[in-house]
Amino acid sequence: MSYTPKPIDTSSVQLPEELVELTELLSENTHEIWAQQRLKDGWTFGPERDDKAMTHPCLILYDELPESEKEYDRNTSMEAIKTILYMGYRIIPPTQEQTGAQDEVRRILDRLEDKNLDLRDLSEIWRGRSPEIWRRVPEIYRSLGNRILGIGEPLLAFDVISEGLEVWTTDLRLRQLNGLTLARGGSPYKANQIARELQAEGNQDDDTLGLLGRTHKDLWEKESQEQEKAAQLEQAFVAYYTSYQNTGSGYTGINAATLALIKGDLETAHRIGQHVYQISLDEAKGVEPDYWTQATLGEVLLILGQPGQAREYYTHAGELGKGNFANLNSTRRNARLLLEALGEDPHWLDDCFALPKIIVFTGHPLLPEGEENCRFPVHLETELKARIANQLNHLDADIGVASAAAGADILFLEAMLERGGEIDVILPYAVEHFVQTSVDVDNNSEWKNRFERILNRAGRVIMANDYPAQDNRVLLEFTSLIVDGTAILRAQEYDTPLVSLAVWDGQEHGNLGETSDMISRWKNLGRNVEVIDVPADVSTQPENVSTSEDTSHFPHEIRVMFFADVVGYSKLSEVEVAQFIQQFVGYLAQEMEKYPYKPLTRNTWGDAFYFVFSSVEDAAHFALTQRDLIRDTDWAARGLPPDINLRIALHTGPVYRFTDPMIQQLNFSGSHVSRAARIEPITPPGQVYASEHFASLIVANNITDITCDYVGLLQLAKNYGTFRMYHVRRSHEPE
């Protein structure tokens, strides 16, 4: 067979000057693509090309190539550009504005290469983003999301990745990271669904199969039914083992070996383990030790029955990974699984991993000048701060959660920042009002400036309420619950113990939400409390925090609001509306009387339902029971559309109680009622969504049979604002 090449004759095409630089860029990229594929195929650098040994002298940086090799790539690239122009296409160089945007993208990506960036730095990059620039490329979302995920903040990473996916809907890496954020955020079912979708599209790379294996492993751990549990374990092993067979990857190999051991297949576990051990040793030769190699060696030595050596590698990995909480948590988790499978104490290696110590704090505030019975020892401020700092050093604290009133709160938050820790600040209401009532209380001090510096360095600032109330005692109690709940949610992210710390004078008197009340509640929940005592001779009077008492007919109370809306109601005919009132509303009302969870008040507007409850526990069970009733009822038999459904929203906060003068019935009003109403329209049919406040009170009250899974940072209806939302379910139910 004779073949005569007939390329397009581009000799008449004059390359514009502005495209010369593009030629060089394409030339370099051509080399990078070639080298990437060679390395992936197993080739390595060598002084001469050797097809048998798979070595090649051009596996080096483009700038280091001989000029003859560069010229070959340049000619190829130039001919490609000239062919495009010859065929009538136009290549338009970027404008100055576009160039500026590209420079900004490069600046951000370069900054994200800095390994010393902490959560505050990454949060600042995220908050300061320009959506117009960011949405031009997916790399920023990938890089920032991956960095945030690496330090153990799956909720924030989820928000970053979600915004990227709004534009780059098919981007493989963003979709993989989305699955990983869901898995690490406690939503393995949703993460597994993403992994299976990626696999069904033909993706068989290590990251896709690794995500698939990881999520099946998560589901195996959650499953209680033995047959399904075994099936999930087998699917996890198959995913990891398939990837290992495809690429020989140490990452999927070590996971396959671990699961083989857990399954009881010691022969396979040891066979894979020996190979992973050897390739890990090879990777470690001549290079600085890295976290994953050390962690892998620890894990494989545990599999191979050498626990002493395994501990040495795990300890080294823990030192290298300090501050990278997500990786440490993942490695500790596998170590626990292996130890349990080997019949050993699953916590034997826990001390190798420096996971974050989270501190929730309460302490006496400084009261405004002129008010009596202040329990904060002003004259001992320096000594007290030193004692707080010493205690934090002793506890090795990493993350602190507290309010930020003048006095003990600010001392604690400053001490956390000075030791390089992270802080979450919870305020009862907006900053301006809080400064007036609780910070700028001494005209001769620096409390206000100190407060502002703290807020500027906080990872998150959460407002319990929008504004002060006539009775701030209720807000004080509510804020204390949000402080505690926020800290518990953080601790749950890392599966790490929560330490309760207090600056306290030992006096058990005080209002709800004050220091003595928080300590009492912690102890009633069986939690140990670390107390930094205020000298007994400093304060002997009960604390009298500046809170006004409500003497009006509109008392403030912490309540839980339930809003629901019928999906498809607007499509009902006149006849169906009458049927709806009798067969839907009437049936729900009849069934509600059987529930043990009784609302304080109830109301309806056509297809909308509104209830108010006294506790988050009652509201959650009521909502889920309603959800189940709607799902399990044969509505077609009742003359209604078979797919009729409810959207249910829950929120909690201080609201005003009053008797409605028009209908002479109990009612509640306030901004938290409005917020609950705005959550309902964004809730998927057949599900129950709740606010972060609701999720915080669930965990603060130690309600273990209800779980709130993070959904994301969502825009509420009618431009009400953007808030963190949670999916509410019974703890034994899938997401």
Question: CATH number of the domain that 303 lies in?
Answer: 1.25.40.10
CA–CA distances in Å: residue 672 to residues 76, 465, 609, 615: 65, 8, 16, 15
Instruction: Judge contact between 458 and 412, C-beta under 8 A.
Output: no
Same domain for 121 and 212, yes or no, is yes
Task: Say which range, 141-145, 548-552, 591-595, has the weakest mean pLDDT.
Answer: 548-552
Q: Name the H helices within 41-171.
A: 67-86, 96-112, 119-127, 131-134, 139-150, 154-167
pLDDT digits (tens, 9 = 90+) for 670-722: 889 999 899 998 898 999 999 999 999 999 999 999 999 888 777 777 767 77
Same domain for 572 and 645, yes or no, is yes
Q: How far apart are the C-alpha atoms of 597 and 600, rounded to whole Å?
A: 10
Q: Name the H helices within 495-572.
A: 515-524
Q: What is the pLDDT of residue 194?
A: 96
Tokens of 275: 């190979």
Band the pLDDT of 184: cuts 50, 70, 90: confident
Q: How many CB atoms lie within 10 A of CB 267?
A: 8
- Per-residue pLDDT for 646 more than 70? yes
Pairing of strands 529-533, 498-504: parallel
Could you tell me which of 161, 96, 163 has the C-alpha nearest to residue 130? 163
Same domain for 397 and 306, yes or no, is no
Q: Which residue has better confidence, 400 or 60?
A: 400
Q: Which residue has better confidence, 257 or 45?
A: 257
Band the pLDDT of 93: cuts 50, 70, 90: low
Question: CATH number of the domain that 485 lies in?
Answer: 3.40.50.450
Residues present in the chain in total: 735
Residue type, 109: L
Instruction: Judge contact between 427 and 88, C-beta under 8 A.
Output: no
| 308 exposure class (CB count in 10 Å sphere: 0-12, 13-18, 19+) | exposed
Band the pLDDT of 10: cuts 50, 70, 90: confident
Q: Name the H helices within 396-514.
A: 408-418, 431-434, 447-457, 472-494
Tokens 């050498």 correspond to what residue? 306
pLDDT digits (tens, 9 = 90+) for 215-232: 999 999 888 789 999 999
Q: How far apart are the C-alpha atoms of 149 and 119, rounded to whole Å?
A: 10
Instruction: Judge contact between 679 and 725, C-beta under 8 A.
Output: yes
Tokens of 719: 């431009």
- Per-residue pLDDT for 531 more than 70? yes
Same domain for 582 and 599, yes or no, is yes
Whether 5 maps to a domain, the answer reads no
Q: What is the pLDDT of residue 560?
A: 98
Whether 448 maps to a domain, the answer reads yes
Q: What is the pLDDT of residue 453?
A: 95
Task: Say which range, 3-12, 77-86, 89-98, 436-445, has the weakest mean pLDDT.
Answer: 89-98
Q: What is the pLDDT of residue 563?
A: 96
Question: CATH number of the domain that 54 lies in?
Answer: 1.10.490.160
- Per-residue pLDDT for 539 more than 50? no
Question: CATH number of the domain that 654 lies in?
Answer: 3.30.70.1230
pLDDT mean over 181-185: 86
Residue 581 has φ and ψ, to the nearest 5°, of: -60, -40
User: Taking the model in full, what pTM does it have?
Assistant: 0.74
The three-class DSSP label of residue 478 is: helix
Paired with 401 in beta bridges are: 360, 424
- Per-residue pLDDT for 98 more than 80? no
- Per-residue pLDDT for 236 more than 70? yes
pLDDT mean over 379-400: 94
Tokens of 239: 């995913």
Q: What is the pLDDT of residue 174?
A: 95
Residue 233 has φ and ψ, to the nearest 5°, of: -65, -40
Same domain for 373 and 336, yes or no, is no
Last residue of a domain, one of 313, 336, 352: 352
Q: What is the pLDDT of residue 542?
A: 45
Q: How far apart are the C-alpha atoms of 328 and 356, rounded to whole Å?
A: 10
Task: Say which range, 9-13, 46-50, 193-197, has the weakest mean pLDDT.
Answer: 9-13
Same domain for 232 and 179, yes or no, is yes
Q: What is the pLDDT of residue 99?
A: 57
Whether 11 maps to a domain, the answer reads no
Whether 437 maps to a domain, the answer reads yes
| 504 exposure class (CB count in 10 Å sphere: 0-12, 13-18, 19+) | buried
Same domain for 345 and 445, yes or no, is no
Last residue of a domain, one of 306, 327, 352: 352
Band the pLDDT of 372: cuts 50, 70, 90: low
Same domain for 85 and 155, yes or no, is no
Whether 376 maps to a domain, the answer reads yes
Percent of the chain with pLDDT over 90: 56
Q: What is the pLDDT of residue 298?
A: 96
- Per-residue pLDDT for 551 more than 50? no
Instruction: Judge contact between 174 and 161, C-beta under 8 A.
Output: yes
Same domain for 319 and 170, yes or no, is yes
Q: What is the mean pLDDT of the chain?
A: 89
Number of domains observed in the structure of the chain: 4
Last residue of a domain, one of 93, 128, 148: 93
Q: Which residue has better confidence, 464 or 100?
A: 464
Whether 697 maps to a domain, the answer reads yes
Could you tell me which of 306, 258, 308, 313 has the C-alpha nearest to residue 281? 313
Band the pLDDT of 100: cuts 50, 70, 90: low
Which positions ≥6 away from 384 have C-beta within 8 Å? 377, 408, 411, 503, 532, 534
Q: What is the pLDDT of residue 363?
A: 95
Q: What is the pLDDT of residue 370?
A: 57
Residue 227 has φ and ψ, to the nearest 5°, of: -65, -45
pLDDT mean over 547-571: 79
Could you tell me which of 167, 120, 115 has the C-alpha nearest to residue 143? 115
Q: What is the pLDDT of residue 180?
A: 94
Instruction: Judge contact between 399 and 374, C-beta under 8 A.
Output: no
Q: Which residue has better confidence, 379 or 588?
A: 588
Q: How far apart are the C-alpha atoms of 261 and 267, rounded to whole Å?
A: 8
Same domain for 336 and 379, yes or no, is no
Using CA atoms of 499, 500, 505, 510 in order, give the dihedral in degrees to the nearest 10.
180
Same domain for 301 and 426, yes or no, is no
Same domain for 344 and 309, yes or no, is yes
Q: What is the pLDDT of residue 132?
A: 82
Whether 308 maps to a domain, the answer reads yes
Instruction: Judge contact between 119 and 157, C-beta under 8 A.
Output: no
How far, rounded to the nearest angstrom, does the alpha carbon of residue 532 sit from its chain's CA centroid?
A: 32
Which positions ≥6 away from 572 have C-beta within 8 Å? 580, 640, 641
- Per-residue pLDDT for 728 more than 50? yes
Using CA atoms of 377, 378, 380, 381 in order, give the dihedral in degrees to the nearest 10.
120
Q: How far apart are the C-alpha atoms of 384 and 369, rounded to whole Å?
A: 20
Q: What is the pLDDT of residue 536?
A: 52
Tokens of 410: 């600010």
Residue type, 482: I
Radius of gyration of the chain (CA): 30
Whether 98 maps to a domain, the answer reads no
Instruction: Judge contact between 627 and 687, C-beta under 8 A.
Output: yes
| Domain residue limits at 508 | 358-533
